[in-house]
Structure 1
Amino acid sequence: MQTGAKLPEVTFHTRVRDEAVGGPNPYRWEDKTTADYFAGKRVVLFALPGAFTPTCSTYQLPGFEKGFADFAAEGIDEIYCLSVNDSFVMNQWAKAQGLENVKVIPDGSGEFTRRVGMLVRKDNLGFGLRSWRYAAVVNNGVVEAWFEEPGLADNHGEDPYGVSSPETVLGWLREVNKEQAA
């Protein structure tokens, strides 16, 4: 995607906790749209190849989670983590990571990821179709800044990480806000 592009309108099939359901798995299906997540907010969206994978679980997701207050101080309302995983997997990963600040978005069918041009094959790892790693600052559904890891390709031999890191995105926000204040 490019700066100034509007995010595609898609429907995400999520599972939300609902005690009225009862039983050991009190969740119900709830469809959410791009507008539900992005309308009227300035957010950081970051996407990664898969829940529970090493770089995602060790650096990227924890960095955004721990840095939430710093992002909020720079005018960010929400931080979203998106992956081509279903809602069951994303919810369990959020639970395992102890998330309190970052919200997960399941793109189980890869529709959003495909429409933003980031759907890649990872058959070399047995993953199938997944998201290339990227981050974006999105203001009211419009891309304000785009941070894409280099080398976008199917079956890439590596998993580049750095351009989409929390530190890079936060640095960009701080620089923009400093320029606007001057």
Structure 2
Amino acid sequence: MAGHIIGYARVSTNEQDLTAQRNGLAALNVPEDRIYVDHGLTGTNRERPGLREALAACRAGDTLVITKLDRLARSLPDARDIIEDLTKRNVKLSIGGSVHDPTDPVGRLLFNVLAMVAEFESDLIRARTREGMQVAKAKGKLRGKQPKLTKSQEAHLISLYKGGQHTTTEIAELFKVARSTVYRILQRTVP
């Protein structure tokens, strides 16, 4: 008897959409009820509930299907751990329709090569991001997180606090900020 097909999809941010990956998995004959997803989690994070569920659903003879290797893992050690787990349990891995048998020496070689490529791609993205941030910083475009309140609003907040008529909770509500913001402003300015 042939095993089941289990699908896994992941996007790194909540703004990204899983539709393309879901469609890709459906095109690879993965039933909708056997697709496990992680939304807003990076591939470097091993604490991914969808991946944990997908791996738990796999039994000997099953095939785990992903559209691209970087959806499964972003580092060589992580990919190796997952591949080792699949190999021990006699589960095949399908990457974009190409099925790799982890018990086959050529399959293991391909896993390692693909995992190295995924890690290299991840390193390139990080390097380009750092480079872009340095350029933006040099141009004065990267200023970090902007303050919640203007200097005049901060001065008004401090005067209300020093007046003793309002609690920090009331001041936070008045300025539509969290109490922690009020405390930070007071800590910076009130001796």
* Common fold: TM-score over 0.5: no
| Greater relative contact order (CA < 8 Å, ≥ 6 in sequence) | 1
The structure having more radius of gyration, on CA atoms, is: 2
The structure with more helix, counted as a fraction of residues = 2
Q: Which structure's residues are more often strand, by fraction?
A: 1
> What's the TM-score bracket when you normalise by the shorter of the two chains?
under 0.3
